[in-house]
Amino acid sequence: MVPRKYKANKPFVIKTSINIQGNLNATEKADLKVGLENQLDDSLKVRLVSQAAIRKTLRNPPVFDTNYVNRSIIYMNALMNSKGFYKSAITWDSTLRKVGDQQRVTVNFNVVTGKQLRLDSMAFALNDSALQEIAVGQKDKSILKRGEPYSKQAVSSEIDRLVELFKNHGYFRISREDMYAEVDTVVAALINPFLDPLEQIALLEEVRRKRENPTINVTIRQRLKPGTSHLTIFYVRNVSIFPELRLTEDSLSGGYDSTVRNGIKVYSKARVFKPSFVVSHTELKPGELYQQERYYKTVNNYYKMGAWQTVAVNLFPDDSAAKLDVSIKLYPAKKQIWIAEMEASRNTGDVVATSNLFGFGLNLGFRNLNVAREAIETSTNARFGIELGSRSQLIQTTQVSLTHDIIIPKALIFFTRRNKEKAVASRTILNFNGSWTDRQKFFTLGSLNGSIGFEYNYKKHSLRVIPFNIELVRLGTTDSLDKLLNSIPNLRFSFNNGMIISQKIIYTANFEKKDRGTLLKVGIEESGALAGLSRYIDRESGLYRFLKLDAELTRRISFPRHGWAFRAYGGVGIPYGRQRNGEVEPSLPFFKSFVAGGPNSMRAWQVRRLGVGSNNYFDTLNNQGGSDRYGDIQLEGNVEFRFNLATVAGLKIKSALFTDIGNIWYRSSSSRAELQNSWFRLNKLYRDLAVAAGTGLRFDFDYFLVRFDWAYKVKDPLFYKENDGWLHNIKIGSGQFQLGINYPF
């Protein structure tokens, strides 16, 4: 650390530390420490600037003053009280170290938390009987739970919840200022002069217990008096929609014609949008009870379609009539967009990231955001891309594709009434795709694909259902592939011309809380269950019949200057059809199989070069470091410790330490000697697991991140006979370089 522009021979703060002592777990201590650091006076906050990721500079450090320390303690105590630590103690000390004319001061804060107040009870005591009934009816959804830690933030969030609840019952005027929380930590009965001595002894014992485990009672009360407009229930009266406004235009300017649909007036000039379509997306309708959730859903409905760049929903209350007039102003986005761009990207599998291909591509595309005057979006994209391979073969894959998507801004099918009412947004997606892939010196692949799907988005999760997906595949073989198929005949099923007629379901849940996030993805795909009932389609057209399941769970924990990321992934494919000779299909088709290795998977291995299991047969093929491997089962876990290095000219330079653990396997065994140790067995799991470890540099451009990772094979299952494969022949230059875009998970 290099101080710059400091006052010579004057003490200045070079470091502050906060030590927390209390009965808290590691996560709670870390959260509390971050909060306390934010309470420090500005003159005690040490702000370092990194230069070239090598040294850190402290510029213009203020002179140390005990007033700053005392002020910080006041702020810190306020935070502790807000979190329910009313008997915490904060002390401090400092050390002075002289370096030349520098007087460097380190300030240490010691925080003894004491016992945290916990909720003993929570109740509602609202003067208005209707509000009281609504609150009690939804008490099970209260944020304040008995036994949970007390905090002012939790109480505030509970009041916000109640306000939203009341607004969803028509109380348009009500606000959080209309309610307050009354807290009580005293056993009030002790002041009763007529208290029986035995009862008094029992209450004194209760007070003693509360001192050891302090609790608090919270009652939500109402400031409103009867007759106030805040206790009036409002209904929607008039609704007006202006779907063609310009940003500088007044909605009431001349030239507009009005059309009435379902009691709603639509004002337009050029009829850019169909009135019936515009009306169908508002949740605020004449004569209905006002609900705040319908207001937000209306705003979201129009924004999600993409046809409008700005949406404004204005409410005009008439207190005397308890009515609301609604004005919806919509400002269209540009209708047609041409796209031409270079990209560095990765292609992922059909359900949940089952393959990882990195390369460069050229995209040419055209988008129309308002087809048929109903905000239907069409997108046509042509792409040429290459996948980078090893040193011996720089260009590993060449791909050309043409894609056409039709996106209808609502789901054409809802499975239940609840499914429709709870959805924040929904879409219908029709996809058509044709591609040609040249896997250098291995195979060529032509494919056609068409599907129809429905997306349902909720507050914290989403569901995508694809009831119909058809894929036609035509494979061109090479000498390398023919040699592989001749040596392992079972693979002829996987590498073959074929057809998939499948259904897919993809569920995603995303939970964000402060600096923590959890993402869950679960996918299921089934091919051939219905189409396979036709003997001709099943046996003569090359129909693949299989069931494929996979799931991915990621967890992110962020701190101001570093963070942790965890990922767990698992997938299995179960073929159940029969070949023309009547034998059961042995494995998944290769383009639906699992692969490992590359910039987003097991990073110490090249793409598709890990596995299968601890079998080494594929490493002996092609005389180029082996052949591609495809599996029916995959397990993988990843951990990254991410941290900031420097900021240079606005570019954020970051790094990470990581480890990857996993492999792929065949599901069923084979009698062929070449395939020994390639199928999954639970008692062989430890032997078969591969372990990678490494580090890297990440350059964060805000909109995307470029990643350079270097990883080593810490445990290679191919050498399980030698120390279980640990640290086999590791040298400084034996690692694997990976170039990736954005974080791997």
Q: Is residue 674 within 8 Å of residue 710, measured between CB atoms?
A: no
Residue 18 is encoded by which pair of tokens? 């906060």
480 and 549, same structural domain? yes
Query: DSSP state, 585?
Result: P
Between 468 and 22, name the one with better pLDDT: 468
d(CA 674, CA 616): 8
365 and 255, same structural domain? no
Question: Beta-carbon neighbour count of residue 192 at 10 Å?
Answer: 11
What pLDDT shows up at residue 230? 87
Please state the domain count of the chain.
4
* Statement: residue 188 has pLDDT above 50: no
Q: Is residue 422 within 8 Å of residue 439, measured between CB atoms?
A: no
d(CA 371, CA 375): 6
346 and 303, same structural domain? no
659 and 590, same structural domain? yes
- Read off the pLDDT of residues 580-625 as tens digits, 9 standing for 90 and up: 566 677 778 878 899 999 888 999 998 888 989 998 888 776 544 5
Max avg pLDDT among 155-164, 222-231, 476-485? 155-164
Q: Which residues fall within 8 angstroms of residue 327, CB to CB, at 6 or more apart?
A: 240, 242, 251, 313, 314, 316
- Read off the pLDDT of residues 415-471 as tens digits, 9 standing for 90 and up: 887 777 788 888 999 999 999 888 777 778 888 999 999 999 888 899 999 999 999
DSSP 3-state of 215: strand
pLDDT band at 552 (very low <50, low <70, confident <90, very high): very high
Domain finish residue from 66, 95, 112: 112
* Statement: residue 148 has pLDDT above 90: no
* Statement: residue 190 has pLDDT above 50: no
Total-model pTM: 0.75
What pLDDT shows up at residue 580? 59
Q: Out of 65-79, 238-252, 400-414, pick the least confident.
A: 238-252
d(CA 103, CA 96): 6
* Statement: residue 492 has pLDDT above 70: no
DSSP string, 589-600: -GGGSB---STT
d(CA 43, CA 540): 79
d(CA 3, CA 658): 33
142 and 19, same structural domain? no
DSSP string, 360-420: EEEEEEEEEEEETTTTEEEEEEEEEEEEE--TT-SEEEEEEEEEEEEEESS-S--SSHHHH
Domain finish residue from 332, 349, 373: 332
414 and 299, same structural domain? no
Q: Is the CA virtual torsion 388, 391, 394, 396 positive or negative?
A: negative
Q: Is residue 656 within 8 Å of residue 686, measured between CB atoms?
A: no
364 and 304, same structural domain? no
| Mean pLDDT within 316-341 | 92
Q: Which helix (H) or strand (E) holds 66?
A: helix 66-82
Query: DSSP state, 67?
Result: H
| Per-residue buried b or exposed e for 138-162, using 16+ beta carbons within 10 Å of the residue's own CB | eeeebbbeeeeebbeebbeebbebb
What pLDDT shows up at residue 618? 81
Residue 8 is encoded by which pair of tokens? 């010579």
CA distances from 484 to 86, 490, 495, 678 (A): 72, 10, 10, 16
487 and 459, same structural domain? yes
Residue 592 is encoded by which pair of tokens? 């639906």
Q: What torsion, rounded to 10 degrees, do the Cα atoms 179, 184, 187, 193 define?
A: -60
Query: How many residues are recorded in the chain?
Result: 745
Query: Which range of residues forms the domain containing residue 219?
Result: 118-230
Closest to 373 measured CA to CA, from 271, 507, 301: 271
438 and 370, same structural domain? yes
pLDDT band at 555 (very low <50, low <70, confident <90, very high): very high
CA angle 683/689/693 to nearest 5° reads: 155
What pLDDT shows up at residue 389? 60
| Per-residue buried b or exposed e for 53-78, using 16+ beta carbons within 10 Å of the residue's own CB | eeeeebeebbebeeebbebbbeebbe
In the chain, % helix, strand, coil (3-state, to 5) comes to: 20, 45, 35
DSSP string, 416-462: SHHHHHH-SEEEEEEEEEEEEEEETTTEEEEEEEEEEEEEEE-SSEE
355 and 388, same structural domain? yes
- Read off the pLDDT of residues 347-397 as tens digits, 9 standing for 90 and up: 333 333 333 344 667 889 999 999 999 999 999 999 888 776 655 566 777
Query: DSSP state, 289?
Result: B
d(CA 690, CA 709): 18
Q: For residue 600, which amino acid is it?
A: N
- Read off the pLDDT of residues 506-549 as tens digits, 9 standing for 90 and up: 999 999 887 889 999 999 999 988 887 777 777 677 788 999 99
Residue 617, domain CATH: 2.40.160.50
In terms of DSSP H, where are the helices of 588-630? none
What pLDDT shows up at residue 259? 92
* Statement: residue 157 has pLDDT above 60: yes
d(CA 735, CA 387): 20
Residue 73, domain CATH: 3.10.20.310
What pLDDT shows up at residue 394? 65
pLDDT band at 275 (very low <50, low <70, confident <90, very high): very high
What pLDDT shows up at residue 196? 61
Q: Which helix (H) or strand (E) holds 358?
A: strand 357-371
243 and 217, same structural domain? no
DSSP 3-state of 683: helix
Domain finish residue from 185, 215, 230: 230
434 and 554, same structural domain? yes
Mean pLDDT of the chain: 85
CA distances from 676 to 489, 615, 629 (A): 15, 6, 14
Q: How far is CA 457 from the centre of its chain?
A: 13
What pLDDT shows up at residue 526? 95
